[in-house]
Structure 1
Amino acid sequence: MTAFFPNPHPRVSPATVAETEGISRWCVGDREEPNRQTRTDAGRGASDQKNAASSTITASEKAHAAGGKRVAWADTAKGFSILAVCLMHVVTMVPGGMDTSWGMVKLILDPLRMPLFFLVSGLFAHRVVERSLSDLWFRRLWFLLVPYLVFTPVIAANRLYIDGKLFTSPPPSITAPSVIPGLPVRLDLNAIVAHMDYATLAKAIVFGDPGLWFLYALMLYNVAAWSVRKLPAWLAVAVSFIPAYLGSVAGYMSHQGVRQVLTYLPIFFVGLFFRQVVFRLANHAFSCAVVVTTLSVFIVSEVATYALNRTLFAEWNDTVAAVTVGTGLLRIFAAIPFGIVFATWLSQTPLIAPALTAIGRHTLPIYVSHQAALAYGMFLLGGFRVQDAEFVQIFDNPQPLIYLGFAICAVSGFMFYGLGKIPVVGWVLYPPSLRPKR
């Protein structure tokens, strides 16, 4: 997931996500950073979901993990995070979007958006350390791999087109007259298929960049967690920092795909190996001392990050990319306690809580669909603009275009939620279990 900074240097954000400024030819600027569905045991078959009970949490929480019930604040955190993901992609897509108030909101949410997702994913990956490697495959990795393989080619192709890397030799045009009444143009799939650089696309799928990197990272994180399952909790978390350190020393952290996968491993491990500490913090989210402390740390960290980005880190290079891995991790760990507190508040807020909880339970359809939907929506809008359609004039200003982007994300999420309910077809999101019957 990416964010854009108001300076001319392509950079990776201190929130540990790589950034490259620019508006695509489809008006889709940024890549995502995620969201895949961060459900308790995301993407499992129905029988697996029933058995995927979360472990106990504090008594004051209304939704207990025991017995397979949901954890209210965790679902709210996921709903909040996927909306922040959509917001990020929309405001970085829209010309001038980062200069609006929504752009400011996006910047504030940078250190919370993906870290909350990975923290919650770690919280409910605790059964990983209890399983055999084959059980890990059948009960978790399979359910991440299928939607990754189904949807990554589309998302990766979109991003490669944005970056000018999709074709071996660019076709004269990728548009053709629409055969559907009311639509101005359509994608010329024949031209796209004939000129596509399949080697580059295959590389994106194998290495998770560009594409649905969140699902890719979760698969790696689960395997990593299983590999260190016998270590003491503190040592396992300490080990999780090593990949990011080695990547920094080797000079790889200026590459988005490497940086974003290596950086979030520690927060996933904290959620996994120190889950009771996280639940305890959520249980005290309304304590005045906790609120003041977490909010103060968050604010101080953000002020320091703002100052560093405009002084020491103003010029982007490999050295700065390496150093900002460390400062980015500090920023994440300074922000995440307040993120937990804030998510707990939201889970107790009338009207807001039910909506965020419902969204948080179904993040996967939104995650896999919204980027392609935004790209296609802007593609059609460009077609209407070429035809001088009068209604497109309203979208000359960034605010209406931002709201259109929000609407596109909502519609695509609802459509793919429905897709997941269709027998057999829905397997692209929630594949059937491969576990041998006993």
Structure 2
Amino acid sequence: MATGSDRIAWVDYAKGICIIMVVMMHSTLGVQEATGEPSWMGALVAFAKPFRMPDFFLISGLFLARVIDRPWRRYLDTKVVHFAYFYVLWVTIQFVVKSHHFIEDGLAGALEAYALAYIQPFSTLWFIYLLPIFFVVSKLTRGVSPLIVWPLAAALQIAGVDTGSIVIDEFCARFVYFYSGYVFAAFFFRFADTVQQHPREAAALLLAWAVFEALMVFGGVSELPVVNLGLGFLGALAVISSGVLLWRLDLADFVRYAGENSIVIYLAFFLPMAATRILLLKFAPGLDTGLVSLIVTAMGVVTPLILHRVVRDTAFSFLFKRPDWAKLDPTPVSPPAKAS
């Protein structure tokens, strides 16, 4: 199930589904807030809410077992400094783009807001702020039995912690999924193999899940403790199933490509998303709100990929590729064995 040199195709498909859902959420909610009108895209966003970010974190933990025993220096370089570089770069870019929001506060207020972004993650970038924390916590608890760590992580999610701190609240809400991707990776890969071997049954179960998910969400019970945790894991299995089926049927290769470059989309989608929304609402005011949201989503996904292709062999490649000076160990690591 490999694509490219050492990538597993269904994982890229699953990541592609996740990043498209993330862009869809921000795009749709932004359009609805600007227009004051709901849309049919809003229903899709609500449907995906219980599993959208849990899936992303779970998939991010799937390959952790391959690297968690690396020496701390190399581990910190790839799992902390890597994301820290992109966070600092893109939080600065976002801050400059959105600087008009801080004009009234003066230079001192603007600098204070910028400094706060390193304590309270800025705008859409909280995901890559939190990932390094998850990687470090997982390595620090390497010697602790999952029978202790997993129930504690699940309890934090069920507790619905709400302190006002994005770092604390999202850690409590999401770590159980990341950690599950790590400690139960073998199960998720066996599940993907089963879907591959029984595609018709998997498609039928996927349809049944979609009906169940809709009943839970629109029935108003998806946010209940325990129920919300369970829906997150069921959604993860659904996304994995979807990824495997798309790969097996050789459909929607763009979704795979988006997943392969998910960090590119995540870092840069905010600007084309906002620009497209502003232009459409100004020059096509009568357009259906759902259609506007769909177009904004498409531009938010496609434009960063085009930008990446344009700059990757230029002096601006640093936007998406970490330069050697930002590495603890610039010596290239030998590539892993080819996935199959």
Q: TM-score range by the shorter chain?
A: 0.7 to 0.9
Task: Note closer, same or farther for the CA distance 1:340–1:97 as it changes in structure 2 (3 Å cut).
Answer: farther
Please, what TM-score do these two structures have when normalized by structure 1? Answer: 0.64
Please name the residue that 1:336 is paired with. 236
Unaligned runs of 5+ in 2: 333-340
Name which structure has the greater RCO, CA cutoff 8 Å, separation 6+: 2
Please name the residue that 1:364 is paired with. 263
Task: Find the partner of 2:26 among 83, 86, 89.
Answer: 89
Structure-to-structure mapping, 1:23-172, within 5 angstroms: 62-63=1-2, 69-95=6-32, 99-155=38-94, 166-167=101-102, 169=104
CA distance in 2, matches of 1:98, 1:118: 31
Quote the offset at 1:361 in angstroms.
Answer: 0.7
Quote the offset at 1:226 in angstroms.
Answer: 0.5
Task: Find the partner of 2:179 among 251, 263, 269.
Answer: 269
Please name the residue that 1:279 is paired with. 189
CA distance in 2, matches of 1:237, 1:98: 41
User: Secondary structure of the equivalent of 1:207?
Assistant: coil
Q: Structure 1 counterpart of 2:10, which letter? A: W
Task: Note closer, same or farther for the CA distance 1:110–1:347 as it changes in structure 2 (3 Å cut).
Answer: farther
Residue correspondences, number = 325
Structure-to-structure mapping, 1:207-218, within 5 angstroms: 207-218=120-131
Deviations 1:131-181 (A, max 9, x none): 2222211232221111111112344677897xxxx43736xxxxxxxxxxx
Unaligned runs of 5+ in 1: 1-61, 171-192, 314-322, 386-391
CA distance in 2, matches of 1:308, 1:275: 31
Quote the offset at 1:269 in angstroms.
Answer: 0.8
Q: Is contact 1:395–1:401 with CA below 8 Å preserved after alignment?
A: no
Q: Is contact 1:80–1:356 with CA below 8 Å preserved after alignment?
A: yes
CA distance in 2, matches of 1:430, 1:411: 18
Please name the residue that 1:259 is paired with. 169
Structure-to-structure mapping, 1:312-323, within 5 angstroms: none
CA distance in 1, matches of 2:225, 2:102: 33
Quote the offset at 1:293 in angstroms.
Answer: 5.7
User: Secondary structure of the equivalent of 2:116?
Assistant: helix
- Match status 1:229 vs 2:150: no
Q: Is contact 2:18–2:56 with CA below 8 Å preserved after alignment?
A: yes
User: Secondary structure of the equivalent of 1:430?
Assistant: coil
User: Secondary structure of the equivalent of 1:197?
Assistant: helix
- Judging by fraction of residues, say which structure has more helix: 2
Q: Is contact 1:79–1:357 with CA below 8 Å preserved after alignment?
A: yes
Quote the offset at 1:409 in angstroms.
Answer: 1.5
Please name the residue that 2:337 is paired with. none
User: Secondary structure of the equivalent of 1:263?
Assistant: helix
- Match status 1:428 vs 2:328: no
Please, what TM-score do these two structures have when normalized by structure 2? Answer: 0.81
Quote the offset at 1:265 in angstroms.
Answer: 0.8
User: Secondary structure of the equivalent of 1:169?
Assistant: helix
RMSD (Å), alpha carbons = 3.3
- Match status 1:409 vs 2:300: yes
Task: Note closer, same or farther for the CA distance 1:64–1:401 as it changes in structure 2 (3 Å cut).
Answer: closer
Q: Is contact 1:156–1:205 with CA below 8 Å preserved after alignment?
A: no
Task: Note closer, same or farther for the CA distance 1:92–1:229 as it changes in structure 2 (3 Å cut).
Answer: same
Query: Taking every aligned residue pair, what percent have the same amino acid on both sides?
Result: 19
Task: Note closer, same or farther for the CA distance 1:246–1:365 as it changes in structure 2 (3 Å cut).
Answer: same
CA distance in 2, matches of 1:395, 1:410: 24
CA distance in 1, matches of 2:228, 2:156: 15
Quote the offset at 1:272 in angstroms.
Answer: 0.7
